[in-house]
Amino acid sequence: MLRSQSERFVQTLAEKSALQPLYKNKDIILQLKSEKESVLMSFHNGVCSLISEPSGNIDVNITGKYDSLVLLIDGSERLMMLEQEGNLEVEGKQCNLLTLESLFILAGESSYLFRHMT
């Protein structure tokens, strides 16, 4: 279930070229981990993809309940807010966290931009 949410997010990023400048010069490996499932996502050379094994160190770890991770991925809630409220545990460099928070908000299914941006 977390995987299917992540796949939709990756597909949205591929379709919304206006968001690419936010991550085109980033090299981030993200792990999203719920109580039952773990997903690895790679941002490399302007491409976001799901991966089965990290090619290096994991740069950002986001752990929490499935429902909280879905709220994050679909852009309903901000990463830092979910962390502050104790719904997610987050590890990673601040610049990477801010990039990911922006992408989740802008590309999430709850976002106005998700529905209207090309």
Please list the pLDDT of the chain residue by residue as tens digits (118 residues). 899 999 999 999 999 888 999 999 999 999 999 999 999 999 998 999 999 998 889 999 999 999 999 999 999 999 999 999 999 999 999 999 999 999 999 988 776 665 555 4
Task: Report pLDDT for 54.
Answer: 86
Task: Report pLDDT for 67.
Answer: 96
pTM: 0.90
Task: Report pLDDT for 110.
Answer: 74
Query: Where in the chain are the domains?
Result: 2-111
Question: CA nearest 9: which of 94, 76, 75?
Answer: 75
Do residues 112 and 76 lie in contact, with contact meaning Cβ atoms separated by under 8 Å? no
Q: What is the CATH number of domain 2-111?
A: 3.30.1050.10
Question: CA nearest 24: which of 1, 57, 47, 53?
Answer: 47
